């Protein structure tokens, strides 16, 4: 089946060869885009969707999310808003709830969040494990995530679980040995929470190096709560993405600028922990590739909304609306080393969002307003 989407007032393609088109149309043939051009020259197709002057952008690529968990931490959020600091210690609360949950509960939680994401325009999502922290629970988390996305990430190194208190190196040996071996069939990526109170630079290096040897791509949680070695380690090891990047030295920024490692910024985390935002302008001006993602998790950023992250990035991180939309689409694709999503060009996946607005500018200009009119995923209206 082919579908002609026509009457597009503004078509943001993210394809440098095409740019942004007006009075445009595109044809999705099955799961792929088959044609893009002026509406007046559009070929015939089996079906037709006239969007009547609305803007169309690529589907959002949420390249950093933790949707495999049970329970919530609303009380912790309320306490934090009343003045308690965020330390990451609440992760263990979610670990206990996740271990206690049945497969069906975890599966329905993942699908509920995926439905929220789709309704807000996300068509590609990365999903991390990291609330199991035993071999069996990490395998289960990734197996369930792999049912809905190919972008699965092993985050056994999220925190040291309570049963390994006082002997973190034994846990690092488990994560980089038997646990890694068991999850590899279900994971595309390996990630480490490299932060004071979680894993230090040497531990992160051991886990990421083992992951690379097992054939997994590398990502890292780095420099979120303070300065640290995470960003430079990511660049040194050729990681696809260094995520958070809130506390960066000039050397960190220079390292990112001279690398293929994307800086993935997660403003939902700073919003929900009432922390200073990363300086996206500094990164962009240095030539760093920037992505935006939700960090969807029950502790520090319980949002599934890429439009919300775009609004924060524009208002509080000095990104232009165009830069923020690019970072939430093409930037996320770069962070996942994908060239078939985050862009609308012939041959790319037919994943796109019709906005209930004439321009992409409205995503930041009208924060909190449901502007997602229609989502096409694999060429199928959702």
CB of 87 to Zn ion, least distance (A): 15
CB of 305 to Zn ion, least distance (A): 16
| C-beta separation of 265 from 279 below 8 A | no
Contact region for Zn ion (CB under 5 A) — 131-139, 178-186, 291-299, 310-318? Answer: 291-299
CB of 66 to Zn ion, least distance (A): 6
CB of 79 to Zn ion, least distance (A): 20
Contact region for Zn ion (CB under 5 A) — 135-143, 293-301, 303-311, 344-352? Answer: 293-301
In the block, tokens 């646990």 appear at: 179
CB of 64 to Zn ion, least distance (A): 6
CB of 91 to Zn ion, least distance (A): 10
| C-beta separation of 170 from 143 below 8 A | no
CA atoms within 13 A on the CB side of 92: 11
CB of 226 to Zn ion, least distance (A): 16
151 lies in the site for Zn ion, by CB under 5 A = no
Cβ count within 10 A of residue 100: 10
295 lies in the site for Zn ion, by CB under 5 A = yes
Using the minimum distance from each CB to Zn ion, give the nearer residue, 62 or 252. Answer: 62
Using the minimum distance from each CB to Zn ion, give the nearer residue, 45 or 70. Answer: 70
| C-beta separation of 184 from 210 below 8 A | no
Distance in angstroms (rounded) separating the CA atoms of residues 171 and 66: 21
Of the candidates 314, 252, 260, the residue with the CA atom closest to the CA atom of residue 283:
252
Question: DSSP per residue over 122-156, as a string?
Answer: EEEE-EE--S--SHHHHHHHHHHHHTT-S-EEEEE
Distance in angstroms (rounded) separating the CA atoms of residues 299 and 317: 22
Using the minimum distance from each CB to Zn ion, give the nearer residue, 210 or 242. Answer: 242
CB of 24 to Zn ion, least distance (A): 36
CB of 365 to Zn ion, least distance (A): 28
Q: How far is CA 186 from CA 55, 65, 159, 190, 211, in A?
A: 37, 16, 21, 11, 13
CA atoms within 13 A on the CB side of 57: 31
| C-beta separation of 207 from 175 below 8 A | yes
Q: Are strands 152-157 and 127-128 parallel, antiparallel or unpaired?
A: parallel
Residue number of the CB atom closest to Zn ion: 295
Name the 3-class secondary structure at 192: strand
| Phi (first) and psi of residue 87, to 5 degrees | -125, -10
Cβ count within 10 A of residue 79: 13
Using the minimum distance from each CB to Zn ion, give the nearer residue, 62 or 323. Answer: 62
> Which positions from 164 to 203 touch Zn ion by CB under 5 A, shown as an x/- string?
----------------------------------------
Using the minimum distance from each CB to Zn ion, give the nearer residue, 128 or 334. Answer: 128
Q: Are strands 55-58 and 241-244 parallel, antiparallel or unpaired?
A: unpaired
Cβ count within 10 A of residue 373: 16
Using the minimum distance from each CB to Zn ion, give the nearer residue, 259 or 294. Answer: 294
Using the minimum distance from each CB to Zn ion, give the nearer residue, 14 or 129. Answer: 129
CB of 152 to Zn ion, least distance (A): 14
Using the minimum distance from each CB to Zn ion, give the nearer residue, 89 or 347. Answer: 89
Using the minimum distance from each CB to Zn ion, give the nearer residue, 295 or 323. Answer: 295
Instruction: Fill in the DSSP letter of residue 266.
Output: -
- Count, residues near Zn ion per rule CB under 5 A: 1
> Which positions from 232 to 271 touch Zn ion by CB under 5 A, shown as an x/- string?
----------------------------------------
Using the minimum distance from each CB to Zn ion, give the nearer residue, 265 or 341. Answer: 265
Contact region for Zn ion (CB under 5 A) — 97-105, 133-141, 166-174, 290-298? Answer: 290-298
Reading the block at residue 121, the tokens are 């325009």
126 lies in the site for Zn ion, by CB under 5 A = no
What residue ranges bind Zn ion (CB under 5 A)?
Answer: 295
């Amino acid at each position: 089946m082919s579908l002609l989407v026509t009457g597009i007032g503004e078509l943001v393609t993210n394809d440098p060869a095409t740019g942004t088109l007006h009075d445009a149309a595109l044809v999705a043939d099955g799961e792929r885009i088959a044609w893009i051009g002026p509406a007046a020259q559009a070929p015939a197709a089996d079906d037709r969707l006239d969007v009547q002057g609305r803007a169309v952008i690529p589907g959002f690529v949420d390249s950093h999310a933790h949707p495999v968990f049970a329970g919530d931490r609303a009380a912790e959020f309320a306490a934090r808003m009343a003045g308690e600091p965020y330390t990451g210690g609440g992760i263990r609360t979610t670990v206990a709830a996740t271990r206690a949950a049945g497969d069906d509960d975890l599966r329905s939680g993942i699908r509920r969040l995926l439905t929220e994401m789709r309704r807000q325009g996300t068509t590609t999502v990365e999903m991390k494990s990291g609330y199991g922290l035993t071999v069996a629970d990490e395998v289960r988390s990734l197996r369930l995530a792999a049912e809905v996305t190919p972008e699965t990430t092993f985050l056994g190194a999220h925190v040291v679980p309570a049963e390994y208190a006082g002997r973190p190196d034994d846990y690092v040996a488990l994560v980089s040995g038997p646990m890694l071996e068991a999850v590899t069939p279900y994971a595309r990526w390996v990630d480490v929470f490299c932060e004071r109170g979680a894993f230090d630079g040497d531990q992160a290096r051991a886990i990421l190096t083992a992951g690379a040897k097992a054939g997994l791509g590398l990502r890292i949680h780095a420099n979120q709560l303070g300065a640290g070695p995470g960003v430079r380690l990511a660049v040194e090891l050729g990681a696809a993405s260094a995520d958070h990047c809130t506390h960066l030295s000039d050397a960190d920024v220079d390292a990112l600028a001279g690398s293929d490692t994307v800086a993935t910024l997660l403003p939902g985390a700073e919003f929900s922990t009432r922390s200073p935002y990363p300086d996206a302008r500094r990164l962009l001006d240095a030539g760093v590739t920037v992505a935006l993602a939700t960090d969807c998790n029950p502790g520090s950023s319980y949002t599934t909304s890429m439009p919300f992250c775009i609004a924060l990035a524009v208002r509080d991180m000095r990104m232009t609306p165009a830069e923020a939309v690019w970072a939430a689409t093409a930037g996320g694709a770069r962070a996942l080393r994908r060239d078939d999503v985050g862009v609308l060009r012939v041959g790319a996946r037919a994943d796109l969002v019709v906005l209930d607005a004439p321009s992409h500018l409205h995503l930041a200009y009208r924060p909190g307003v449901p502007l997602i009119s229609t989502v096409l995923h694999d060429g199928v209206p959702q």
